[in-house]
């Protein structure tokens, strides 16, 4: 059953205050998410190669334990490596064939590090500990019961919510982090680390943006040079915002970069890093503590509590519905007249086919003069099509291939 209702209120972009955060590539929580996801994708690929389908696994219990570092101008050192614990369950054997789960997991994690963190060397700066074990027979049975069905029963009772459109503030936060972590920016400013955190607070049409991003110590000779480079980066951020976002919605910007800095305190008053991530010595990370599936932490929106990262892409609705809810909201918004904002809630019941959610709820903020009954049939048609066996199987296949961002 699909429930459609109108909800009162104005879109979040018209509210007086809005607060949005994004944790970038090198943030410890994002590292936990993306490494765990890389492991799941690699296991899925191997299961498909060996057995023709993704088998039971979940790697969403990853934990990154911070290491220790000594920072120094012209180059510090790591005194204790970071440790990453890869959890939680996987299929080690099927049809008499053994799967080298631990080796696949570590290889995937090391590959991800090599492709995304310029100064981190696996084995030297970060050590991986696979803590994967076989799952319960009852959950593993979901993957074999009923023959080779394309749509499985859900392996958990869970709920997920998505929305569309993104507000200008949400779009800005995503774009700014991606800009600061882009290859082009890192070529121009190789001294900037990947551990970027962006927090934006909008009050009416004024936006205050706070960015945290360490500078790499090997590129700097003294405290004064740190502040020179910092001012250059701050200028880049301000130009990026003025060029891309001073378009009538935002009236003015205030930008803060590395707000804890204090001149005159030397190494104790600046945000330096040896490797570009605070996980080297300051902060640990955990799957599910960072960005939601649409890439932001938006404090005025409903959001899914559990992480999409690392969950099985074939049967875990915490992942499938977590991403699909946002996709459904977007398609409803783009395909329906008179809609200002869409919220979609999907709830699964363990064992019931994913194409048949226990609850599918759509909440709408409508333009003046529009009514839910005018759009309900169109919305039901969109949801029905996207949950059809053919469309859902295609969506799950793309999810298994890593085609969707999960944080």
Rounded CA separation 306/304 (Å): 6
Cα(187)–Cα(264) distance, integer angstroms: 29
List, in order, residues 6 or more apart from 396 with CB less than 8 Å away: 151, 313, 314, 320, 354
pTM, full prediction: 0.95
What is the pLDDT, as a whole number, of residue 145? 53
Biggest distance spanned by C-alpha atoms of the chain? 69
pLDDT at 172: 96
Identify the CA nearest to 291 among candidates 26, 85, 33. Answer: 33
Cα separation, 195 vs 133, in Å, equals 31
How far apart, in whole angstroms, are the C-alpha atoms of residue 168 and residue 156? 34
CA 138 to CA 369: how far, in whole Å? 51
Are 27 and 241 contacting, i.e. CB atoms less than 8 angstroms apart? no
| pLDDT value for 146 | 47
Whole-angstrom CA distances from 97 to 22, 47, 56, 92, 395 are 42, 11, 15, 8, 28
Q: In what order do the strands lie in the sheet with 17-23?
A: 252-257, 206-212, 197-203, 17-23, 297-298
User: What's the topology of domain 12-23+168-285?
Assistant: GMP Synthetase; Chain A, domain 3 (3.30.300)
Comparing C-alpha atoms, which of 15, 9, 349 is closest to residue 201?
15
pLDDT at residue number 253:
93
10-residue stretch averages of pLDDT, the chain, 407 residues long:
93 97 98 98 97 95 97 97 96 96 98 98 97 82 59 90 97 97 98 98 96 98 97 97 81 95 96 98 96 97 93 95 98 95 96 94 93 92 96 96 94
DSSP run (H or E) holding 260: none
Question: What does DSSP assign to residue 278?
Answer: G
Per-residue model confidence (pLDDT) at position 142: 67
Q: 64 is written with which tokens? A: 């990154």
Domain range annotation of the chain: 12-23+168-285
Cα angle 70-75-81, degrees, rounded to a multiple of 5: 45
pLDDT of residue 149: 53
- Element of type H or E holding 326: helix 317-335
First-last CA distance in the chain: 29
Distance between CA 256 and CA 254 in Å, rounded? 7
The angle that helices 28-51 and 101-116 make with each other, rounded to 10 degrees, is 130
Q: What is the distance between the alpha carbons of residues 369 and 22, in angstroms, rounded to a whole number?
A: 36
């Amino acid at each position: 059953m699909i429930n459609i209702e109108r909800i009162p209120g104005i879109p979040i972009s018209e509210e007086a205050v809005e607060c949005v955060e994004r944790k970038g590539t090198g943030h410890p929580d994002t590292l936990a998410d993306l490494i765990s996801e890389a492991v799941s994708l690699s296991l899925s690929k191997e299961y498909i190669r060996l057995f023709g389908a993704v088998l039971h696994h979940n790697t969403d219990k990853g934990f990154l334990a911070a290491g220790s570092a000594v920072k120094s101008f012209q180059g510090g050192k790591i005194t204790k490596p970071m440790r990453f614990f890869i959890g939680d369950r996987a299929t080690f054997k099927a049809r008499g064939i053994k799967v080298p789960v631990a080796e696949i997991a570590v290889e995937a994690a090391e590959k991800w590090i090599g492709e995304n963190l310029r100064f981190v060397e696996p084995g030297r700066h970060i050590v991986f500990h696979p803590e994967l074990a076989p799952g319960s027979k009852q959950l593993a049975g979901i993957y074999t019961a009923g023959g080779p069905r394309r749509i499985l029963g859900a392996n958990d009772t869970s709920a997920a919510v998505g929305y569309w459109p993104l507000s200008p503030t949400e779009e800005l936060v995503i774009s700014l982090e991606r800009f600061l972590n882009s290859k082009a920016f890192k070529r121009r400013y190789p001294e900037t680390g990947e551990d970027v955190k962006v927090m934006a607070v909008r009050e009416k049409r004024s936006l205050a943006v706070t960015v945290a991003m360490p500078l790499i110590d090997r590129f700097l000779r003294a405290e004064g040079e740190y502040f020179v480079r910092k001012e250059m980066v701050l200028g880049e951020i301000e130009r990026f915002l003025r060029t891309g976002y001073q378009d009538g919605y935002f009236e003015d910007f205030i930008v803060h970069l590395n707000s804890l800095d204090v001149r005159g305190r030397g190494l104790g008053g600046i945000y330096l890093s040896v490797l570009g991530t605070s996980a080297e010595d300051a902060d640990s990370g955990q799957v599910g503590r960072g960005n939601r599936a649409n890439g932001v932490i938006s404090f005025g929106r409903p959001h899914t509590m559990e992480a999409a990262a690392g969950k099985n892409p074939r049967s875990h609705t915490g992942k499938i519905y977590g991403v699909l809810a946002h996709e459904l909201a977007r398609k409803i918004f783009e395909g329906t007249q008179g809609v200002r904002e869409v919220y979609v809630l999907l709830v699964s019941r363990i064992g019931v086919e994913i194409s048949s959610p226990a609850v599918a709820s759509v909440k709408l903020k409508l333009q003046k003069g529009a009514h839910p009954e005018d759009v309900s049939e169109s919305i039901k048609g969109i949801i029905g099509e996207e949950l059809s066996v053919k469309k859902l199987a295609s969506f799950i296949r793309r999810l298994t291939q890593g085609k969707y961002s999960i944080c």
